[in-house]
Structure 1
């Protein structure tokens, strides 16, 4: 019967057979590549989609070539079965690819099976109710089994497209979350929708075969995922698998994908131009960690410094190399513990030096003087001088021990902070030192969070340092640094020589005979415990100026301040 068709009809038939034949062959040929997807469930869903889509397209080829009659009906029914089955494979793929577990939940699986069997029952019982389709021999545009789709078909098709849309939204959300280019997805999805236009034309126009054209669209999507856009889909899936920030790079270290965690951590990734640019250009801190041993990097997150470990690994799909994968792990607690452990070890070494050297000297003096006092006898006047010298040595030891204990306390990590007003703490600190004729001028009233007692100790030591080294009647000034980065304490004394500025914060450094040399060391410890930095420079007009940086100011009007205590603290 086909041989009796006119030439134009045969040409049209050949075009139809070629189109669906190519779709079937392309689906089956793409199966080996689909097996290279790393995730087993994603791989299983995509392979199932290819198999069913290829079978659907092959059933259409058989339907077109078969003479009108039972064989053509059988091919048509086979197409109905495989066609509606692709919806299950499609949703399975979308759920697995986007990291969901819907495809594994028994409730949804039973529900899907129930819907599938219900639709199949309606299709196969069509001879009884006649609600799905009717058939008759057709000659235009070529001889074939004409199928007129009825209300049952359109309801089933509407259900199929609704379910397919659910999967599309899953994929769209996935691509949007990682900031990936959604255009490839839009192109593929667009091809799945175009056959619907042909379905409508086949229903309305006699020269277009009234049949389902969806196998062509589904084949384009499935083959496109496994061929043209395989790398993009694979990268996007891997980028969203981890809760840690993940960035996918190509071989030239250009950003190809990232997950939502990376975008939250690095707002610059939200820029639409981030994809395709080198990571060192978009994220210099992370880029510097690649191919180096220094792979822990600080990152400012909501005004807090946190530490992240950048690990670099190959990004592969099966045996194919696709680039590199950066996994960024929050190691803040570990890094802080390591840093604190190093600080503690360093402080222990310093304490050991104090005990072995600074305390040993007055101890030897006291022991030697007591021995001399015992030799001359208790009634000798020289014995009294020796005992006085021993007493002074013991007082010196007491001062050293008090300062060492202060260092031990002030260098401990700070667990809690509260809002403080700099002027309040300055006034409280000034009250407890022996200022004599010296004066204090407070030119700043900034507010920030700190440990009030330790901050008062820091200011006491700075004030005392200015009074003791600045000369009689020294003027001390407190103000805030330009840019709001912290505050300073300055005096109009002789200042500190530039060559000594790096040493003034060292343990035991002093320029007065009765000082222990721990006053500014305590200042440094308190600043470091707050994650601040302290340095010394020249004051305007001469004198010393101590700058405390890294202080984060707060809004004083919205903060609640507790009274600052005025109990004297142990200090140099």
Structure 2
């Protein structure tokens, strides 16, 4: 740009050509802003190009006008339009990076007030001379030389500071999106490069004391629309969300992705150009099925994401699509909980309908006979039927409560809870044996854990007889504990059924005892299985890991 060793006429032509080219580029890129889908970003860049082109054109007029008076007028116009470009620059940076500063009416009016103040100062400069002084010069060629005064440097300092805010917003966005944003970061750096010539113009007589920022605007326009438009759109789209975003081409090959996507799906790294269905088949399936949810293990926990895609276009033509993954884990877990609750409600309705109907029928029939025959002997079965219904209702309510997840578990010692539970169940001829040095500690709800032990102990007593021996100890290969007895045991083909609500082999059993045990274990996030003890009896293993 600045070549003082060149002949004056060549140097003059270089200056004029540089600013004329910048004006042509800025004005020529204006129609292309219609390709930008985001309205505020499009508006900000449009006005930045318009003011940048007007600024460069004013410099061309300043250098080429035949009289000093006209050169003076174009220089002042350039000062005004150049200062005005700060507003569109900040508007563009705010909109592009997903901020709302450009919509803040207070900030906009403050900028307008400062702008109008300096416009008045510049226009009235011939009266006070506080902004600049002008005189004819012949080196490096004939032109109207400008000597800037303090108010100019105040205005420039303010403009540079505000422009730096915009650069910071862009840098922050590029830094957090992904490494592929580096070309745009370099481009933004080149946009600010003309500031070097601004400084040189103030300290070296061989460089015209002009503002060269309009050249940077032209560089930015060429870079965005001719080289990095896809990347420009991608960075803006991903920058306004913290969700993982993946960009696919028209053949569903991976083209780009943001940092959040790379952290969630490490296989994306180095997969550019690869088919999504080959790299992430489950995600491709969820993408094709609008009702499907993408499920993935993250840190040992299952997380759920809804998958949505939008067309990605360049110059009005569809070149692929962007895929956005929104975390819906809480919603999905809530949905699953509702489904489980609905299933339990249906189960309870069936149990109430089936198990309560028999004792209720007995009570009704015997009551009618007692009334007809005036015979109180019929009331004894009624009392037993009512007791039976009360027992069923109590255990149904217990089953419903125990399935609720544990919110605030406490660290408890298994052996202590087992001994306390045994005191609530033990009969004179039965015995409880706890393995020596059994000191397993788990995070649990103490009351529900006690209910679990009581039900297991009662199950052993009911099926093993009053002389049964029960043993509690630690699992050898897994984290957890077991409860075993020396009773008749459980047939292998029945070991899964026994945890179903309503299943019982005893004539007076409710079938809820082991179902409650299963619900308590599940509420803690544990796994319970039934197997055979060393003595041939029943053994229940609870894995707490």
Structure 1 residue aligned with 2:434, among 438, 441, 451? 441
Distance 1:357 1:155, change over 3 A: closer
Tell me what 1:160 maps to: 159
Residue 247 of structure 1 pairs with residue 245 of structure 2: yes
User: Quick one: structure 1 residues 216 and 327, their matched pair in 2 at CA, closer, same or farther if it must change by over 3 Å?
Assistant: same
Distance 1:483 1:60 in 2: 80
Cα RMSD, aligned residues only: 4.2
1:235-314 equivalent positions in 2, closer than 5 A: 235-241=234-240, 245-251=243-249, 252=252, 254=254, 256-258=256-258, 268=264, 273=269, 289-292=286-289, 295-296=292-293, 308-314=305-311
After superposition, what is the alpha-carbon deviation per residue over 1:220-269, rounded to whole angstroms, capped at 9, x for unaligned? 12443444333333333333445x7352423346474558xx58xx9547
Q: CA-to-partner distance for each residue in 1:464-494, whole Å, 9 max, x for gaps?
A: 223444564433224368675x554445656
Match of residue 505 from structure 1: 499
The answer to whether residue 410 in structure 2 is matched with residue 419 in structure 1 is: yes
Matched, 1:342 2:344: no
CA distance in 2 between counterparts of 1:292 and 1:223 reads 40
Residue 474 (str. 1) matches residue 469 (str. 2):
yes
Distance 2:333 2:6 in 1: 82
Question: What is the distance in 2 between the residues matched to 1:123 and 1:482?
Answer: 85
Are the equivalent residues in 1 in contact too, given 2:174–2:182 (CA < 8 A)? no
Alpha carbons of 1:283 and 1:202: their partners in 2 closer, same or farther (altered >3 Å)?
Answer: same
Separation in structure 2 between the aligned mates of residue 38 and residue 59 of structure 1, nearest angstrom = 31
In structure 2, distance between residues paired with 1:483 and 1:281 = 36
Report if the CA contact (8 A) 2:247-2:257 is conserved: yes
Is this contact kept in 1: 2:485–2:533, CA < 8 A?
A: yes
Which residue in the other structure is 1:27 paired with?
26
Query: Whole-Å Cα distance in 2 between the matches of residues 395 and 200 of structure 1?
Result: 97
Question: Which residue matches 2:196?
Answer: 197
Cα gap change, 1:231 to 1:137, in 2 (>3 Å):
same
Alpha-carbon distance in structure 2 between the residues aligned to 1:277 and 1:523: 52
Moved more, 203-212 or 92-101: 203-212
Q: How does 1:357-376 map to 2 (within 5 A)?
A: 357-361=354-358
CA 1:76–1:512 in structure 2 vs 1: closer, same or farther (change >3 Å)?
same
Q: Which segment drifts farther, 391-400 or 319-328?
A: 391-400
Alpha-carbon separation, structure 2, partners of 1:405 and 1:78: 83
Alignment partners' CA distance in 1, 2:175 and 2:353: 64
Aligned length: 532
Question: 1:41 and 1:462 mapped to 2: Cα distance?
Answer: 67
CA 1:210–1:468 in structure 2 vs 1: closer, same or farther (change >3 Å)? same
User: What is the aligned partner in structure 2 of residue 569 from structure 1?
Assistant: none
- Taking the aligned partners of 2:365 and 2:199, their CA distance within structure 1 comes to 112
Is the Cα contact below 8 Å between 1:466 and 1:476 reproduced in 2?
A: no
Q: Residues of 2 paired with 1:219 and 1:523: CA distance?
A: 73
Unaligned runs of 5+ in 2: none
Structure 2 distance, partners of 1:488, 1:178, is 51
Corresponding residue to 1:432 among 424, 433, 438: 424
Displacement after TM superposition at 1:391 (Å): 6.9
CA distance in 2, matches of 1:540, 1:149: 99
Contact in 2 for aligned 1:255/1:274 (Cα 8 Å):
no
By how many angstroms is 1:53 displaced? 0.5
Out of 533, 540, 544, which is 1:546 matched to? Answer: 540
For residues 136 and 337 of structure 1, the distance between their equivalents in structure 2, rounded to whole angstroms, comes to: 77
**Partner SS for 2:499:** coil
In 2, the alpha carbon distance for the partners of 1:453 and 1:499 equals 32
| Pairs within 5 Å for 1:35-434 | 35-67=34-66, 69-179=68-178, 181-241=180-240, 245-251=243-249, 252=252, 254=254, 256-258=256-258, 268=264, 273=269, 289-292=286-289, 295-296=292-293, 308-315=305-312, 319-321=316-318, 322-330=320-328, 332=330, 334-361=331-358, 396-411=388-403, 413-414=404-405, 416-423=407-414, 424-434=416-426
Q: Compute the displacement of 1:70 (Å).
A: 1.8
Q: Please give the alpha-carbon distance, in whole angstroms, between the structure 2 residues aligned to 1:95 and 1:305.
A: 36
Q: Which moved more, 1:248-257 or 1:363-372?
A: 363-372
Provide the secondary structure at the position in 2 that maps to 1:508: coil
Q: 1:520 to 1:61 in 2, by over 3 A?
A: same
Provide the C-alpha distance between the structure 2 equivalents of 1:294 and 1:537, rounded to a whole number of angstroms: 40
1:430: how far off?
Answer: 1.9
The 1:315–1:295 alpha-carbon spacing in structure 2 relative to 1, beyond 3 Å, is farther
Change (3 A) 1:398 1:105: closer
Does residue 464 in structure 1 map to residue 458 in structure 2? Answer: yes
Look up the SS of the partner of 1:12 in the other structure: helix
**Residues 437 and 29 of structure 1: CA distance in aligned 2, closer, same or farther (over 3 Å):** same
Distance 1:373-1:493 versus aligned 2 partners, 3 A rule: same
Contact 1:35 1:43 in 2 (8 A): yes
Residues 438 and 473 of structure 1 are in contact (CA less than 8 Å); yes or no, is this contact kept in structure 2? yes
